[in-house]
Amino acid sequence: MGLLAFARTSSIVCASLALLSGMAWSQPLALSLDEAIDRALGSHREGERVHLGLRENKLDRSDLHLRLLPRIRVQGVLPGITDSRAELWNSSLQVYEETRIKTERRSGTLSLSTELPFGTTVDASSYLGWRDSDTDSYLTRWSTNYSLSVSQQIFGARWLWDDLRQESRSLRLSQLQVSEQEAAFRYRVVQAYYALLQARLGLDLGRTGLRESEGSLELARRKYGAGIIGESDFLKSELENLERRSSFASDSLALQLQEEDFRKLVGLPTEQAFILNATVPDPSPSLDVDAQLELARQQSLSLLESRDALSAATRSRREAWRSLLPAVDLALSWDQSIQDST
């Protein structure tokens, strides 16, 4: 009995879930134009690819900006201690004896290397070492050393600015490409939205005309049966009704295909019913042709691409000339060493 009750409960739960899911899909989605554009931009893979390309260009530019920051390397060495043995002359016995000598060797090294932009390098290091022994030969020896060197690359210091300008132009071009493609995609969604809206309104008008044609055909059939009209008039009404039916079926099929394309464009599931929450817009007002042409000339992608290609060719030629120049560095160094022993 328990198993039967559990099976019945599970069946009821599954049936309820299926009914709720069916009711959820049966609820039509009121879709405005802005919502359709947002859905299309969020689900379109081409838009994601364009935005990823723009993000890569921004990362490349960030890498170039990091080259303007100094790169600092710090290295240090901890002290060390060692013990050793040696043969020392025993004056009382007049022989050499192997004696354990406690020897401490300690050294500390600290080096700092800084690479500045435009080929400038600064190196600084400091060394301090000492050695203690418990023998009579010596007690303590210590030494210190300081060094500082500065080098400047003569050729190639200005190429970083050229790289930054080139990446800025590439980034600007990518941003304009994204804006242009997004605007074109928005326009495509707007066209599909209002085309589907007009098709639905046209189908509603066709359905109304079909009902009127059905009524006219029924009236003609009664008149023909009563002998009021002849057979030719009745056949004419029947032919008009047949043409209306054929046109309505063709429009219905075209609307279904158009709705499927619109679903794919905005990323709607096949089971989701939707209504278009908008009205057919009025004809657009006249535009300022001169202003639009000037804006198109300023933001012409073909012109920007040509300029970008020219800049890239100039940069490649400059790099080729740079490869022929010798690599010459100017270096300034200072070194000081102090040693003392007791």
pLDDT digits (tens, 9 = 90+) for 257-281: 999 988 888 888 888 888 888 765 5
- Find, among 87, 128, 84, 86, the residue nearest to 103 by Cα: 84
Alpha carbon separation from 140 to 21, 103, 129, 133, 208 (Å, rounded): 90, 10, 11, 7, 113
Alpha carbon separation from 67 to 32, 111, 297 (Å, rounded): 48, 22, 35
pLDDT at 91: 58
- Residue-wise pLDDT for 159-178, tens only, equals 656 666 666 776 677 667 76
Q: What's the CA gap between 261 and 196, in Å, rounded?
A: 10
Alpha carbon separation from 141 to 51, 128, 137, 147, 237 (Å, rounded): 66, 11, 11, 21, 125
pLDDT at 211: 92
Cα 25 versus chain centre, distance:
34
Percent of the chain clearing pLDDT 90 (strictly above): 8
- Find, among 106, 114, 141, 111, the residue nearest to 126 by Cα: 111
pLDDT at 239: 92
Task: Spell out, as residue ranges, where the chain has pLDDT lower than 50.
Answer: 1-25, 135-140, 283-287, 289, 299, 339-342
pLDDT at 252: 92
Beta-carbon contacts of 99 under 8 Å, excluding residues fewer than 6 positions away, are 85, 86, 87, 88
pLDDT at 265: 83
Number of Cβ within 10 Å of residue 50's Cβ equals 19
Percent of the chain clearing pLDDT 70 (strictly above): 35
Alpha carbon separation from 54 to 59, 166, 199 (Å, rounded): 9, 15, 37
Q: What's the CA gap between 126 and 338, in Å, rounded?
A: 12
pLDDT at 15: 44
**φ and ψ of 79, to 5 deg:** -65, 160
pLDDT at 96: 55
